[in-house]
Amino acid sequence: MTAEKPRKYSYLGPAGTFTEAALRQVPEAAGQVWQPVVNVSQALRNVTTGVSDAAMIAIENSIDGGVSATQDALASFGNLQIYGEYLVQVDFVLVSRPEVQLREVTTIAAHPVAYAQCRSWLEQHLPEHQHIPASSNAQAAADLFAEGTVIDAALAPPTITEHFELAVHGSELVDNPGAQTRFVLVGKPRPAGQPTGHDKTSLIIDLPEEKAGALLTLLEQFAARGVNLTQIASRPIGHHMGSYRFFIDAEGHIRDARLRHAVMGVKQYSPRVTFLGSYPRADRVQPKVDPNHTDAAFADAEAWVAGLIAGN
């Protein structure tokens, strides 16, 4: 018998990021090969080229909203699917090399999403500071030790002190306590799993241009079938001013009749629909399904129409 090849997982590195903490929530990833990368595009490229079997990426933050780099990368790569969703509670520490005092801090390295989450605290406590963008929260801390660095302090996950010797000038920093980042595990497309009763379906939908009420028509596809949406986010397509795509998360599974019919409605009207998968939601919340929109109700209606066609 040949041993099974270890699976490979890309994640935003280096060790110590929140993305790594999200990957730790995936039981199948334990003991497999973890591949740190420098950005989301690299993580997704690893999946499409077969370097990795899956990638963990941050998709939304409860303070800063959708992670635009992730949304744009998912739209441009195509041919990817979300396997699972994970939530990580986020707050930060402000750290420096041990000899640096807080009053000496003028430059602060931070991932732009992390910076946005602590903006008010920093403006209040270090009003003169300058933000230096870092590729991740753990990299911000690593940059404190780079040769010739101009960085005095970094915003990093609390576990960063396990990786470097640091002075901690502030902890539990975050403008809204209880902030969370939502991560998704992404791989190549595969057949849809079975509904769990607490699923979410993610879609990227390009809006037809110059059509009055285009957004309303899009939303009606879901509303008319009793499908609740948990996220509606728009990003420019980039061709020219005024062209948009929508990132939609809908409650339900592509195997649920109400969701399937809504997706068929969207497909008939949008120039481009990308199906990003149906997967169990991290909070395990079960949607309330109106009795008119259950699978049985759709089956009844179809049987009724079949009867009409048959002349019954």
Q: 3-state DSSP call for residue 94?
A: strand
CA 194/CA 76 separation, integer angstroms:
28
**Of positions 37, 80, 90, 185, contacts ligand PRE by CB under 6 A:** 90
168 close to 159: Cβ distance less than 8 angstroms: no
**Of positions 8, 9, 10, 19, contacts ligand PRE by CB under 6 A:** 19
Q: Does 113 bind ligand PRE (CB under 6 A)?
A: yes
Q: Which of residues 243-272 bind ligand PRE (CB under 6 A)?
A: none
CB nearer to ligand PRE: give 87 or 232: 87
Q: Does 71 bind ligand PRE (CB under 6 A)?
A: no
CB nearer to ligand PRE: give 61 or 270: 61
Tokens of 65: 């909203």
Q: Minimum CB separation from ligand PRE for residue 140, in Å?
A: 8
Q: How many residues does the chain have?
A: 312
CA 309/CA 251 separation, integer angstroms:
33
251 CB neighbour count, 10 Å cutoff: 23
Nearest to 93 by CA among 178, 13, 190, 168: 168
**Of positions 46, 52, 181, 274, contacts ligand PRE by CB under 6 A:** 181
Q: Minimum CB separation from ligand PRE for residue 143, in Å?
A: 12
Write down the residue that tokens 């497309």 correspond to.
Answer: 189
Tokens of 102: 């807080």
Q: Does 18 bind ligand PRE (CB under 6 A)?
A: yes
Q: Minimum CB separation from ligand PRE for residue 183, in Å?
A: 8
What mask, x for binding ligand PRE by CB under 6 A, covers residues 150 to 179?
-------x----------------------
**Of positions 37, 58, 73, 186, contacts ligand PRE by CB under 6 A:** 58
Q: Which of residues 190-209 bind ligand PRE (CB under 6 A)?
A: none
Q: Does 137 bind ligand PRE (CB under 6 A)?
A: yes
By rule CB under 6 A, what count of residues binds ligand PRE? Answer: 15
291: exposed, middle or buried (C-beta count within 10 Å: 0-12, 13-18, 19+)? exposed
Name the percent of the chain in helix, strand, coil, to the closest 5: 30, 30, 40
44 close to 35: Cβ distance less than 8 angstroms: no
Residues that bind ligand PRE (CB under 6 A): 12, 17-19, 58, 61, 67, 90, 111, 113-114, 136-137, 157, 181
